[in-house]
Amino acid sequence: MGFNKENSVMVSVVMSVYNAEKYLDLAIESILNQSFRDFEFIIIEDCSTDGSLKILEDYAEKDSRIKLIKKEKNKGFIGFVENLNIGLKEAKGKYIARMDADDIAFPDRLQKQYNFLEKNPNIFLIGTSAELINQNGDKNSVFNAETNINTLKNKNLINNNVYHPTIMFRNEQGLFYRDKMQGCEDYDFYLRLYSSGKKISNLPDILLKYRILETSITRSGNSFIKWLFVEKAVEFYQERLEKGTDSYDMFSPEDFNCFFKASPSVNTLILALRAADKTYNYEMLKECYNKLKSIDKNNKELRKYRIKTLSHFIFILCKNLGL
């Protein structure tokens, strides 16, 4: 929708909800009780089969800042990204903040991020440090966010170093997430901001309790497949720098999802090699090497990668053995 001074709030908080009744009250209350008051709370309910909808309806009836949007069909991950994009389109705020239905925002989160963006017009998006908690709310560890803009960018070009539910960013027309980037739609979003010349930073303050669940989108399924999507997001970034556009429209995520069941393309194998190398994944390096051996031995492009994979295979084997 975009920001309009005459008919807007300062911050739009966007949250997607699916079967989150166990933690939903804590998440909602942590936003409604923020010290910063000038916000709207856009919640997209994604056809939950538990009591989430009733909880949301009760809160929406009591607090006019909540804008509840009820979906008619759950579409899985694609639907989750669709929910985020619905939130972006509906947002009236000058800034947009993300929130997840199982996390807990600290009371001064919105105020601190709002103040930072007001004082730093050169920064487009700001994340924060976070306390990592388990399903029972117990503290596991702390994510200390990188605050140096240049260092953060360098790290982000290797892997995601911004926790998605901590972010707040400027509400500009044309912003959206891409639903083919399974499990890393946020990372792809950040890299697209970078390639358009925008700057990203983090506050050092711990402003969110980030809950780690086995059922979370980013933790379900095969973790290595998600690393393939991470490598693809980096490849798209490099394409945009070189050509001004990327090949996203021609990309099929099934190339990655069927990696273990079918013969992958040359490009997919190269991305898999990079991912295995980056994560020191011995088993996946072995898998890549076996798949590379089955491809035409006269393929000059792959010949160098077979040699490279074998050397990485030996290196990581030695590393795992402590040699």
Question: 251 pLDDT exceeds 80?
Answer: yes
Q: Model confidence over 198-216: pLDDT tens digits?
A: 999 999 999 999 999 876 5
Six token digits for residue 101: 């239905």
Distance, CA of 61 to chain centre: 31
> Which pLDDT score is estimated for 287?
77
Query: What's the pLDDT tens digit per position in 161-186?
Result: 999 999 999 999 999 999 999 999 99
Residues 6+ apart with CB under 8 A from 300: none
Segment 138-166 mean pLDDT: 96
DSSP assignment of 178-215: -TTSTT-HHHHHHHHHHHTT--EEEEEEEEEEEE--TT
Domain locations in the chain as residue ranges: 5-211, 223-320
Task: Name the least confident of 119-123, 132-136, 310-314.
Answer: 310-314
d(CA 276, CA 266): 15
Average pLDDT over every residue of 128-133: 98
∠258-236-214 over CA atoms, to 5°?
50
| Number of alpha carbons in the 13 Å side-chain half-sphere of residue 103 | 26
What would the pLDDT profile of 59-74 be if each residue is shown by its tens digit? 999 999 999 999 999 9
Q: pLDDT tens across 16-43, in order?
A: 999 999 999 999 999 999 999 999 999 9
Amino acid residing at 222: N
Q: What is the pTM of this model?
A: 0.89
Q: What is the pLDDT of residue 219?
A: 43
Three-state secondary structure call for residue 175: coil
Assign domain 5-211 one CATH number from 3.90.550.10, 3.10.290.10, 3.30.70.2340, 3.40.50.1970. Answer: 3.90.550.10
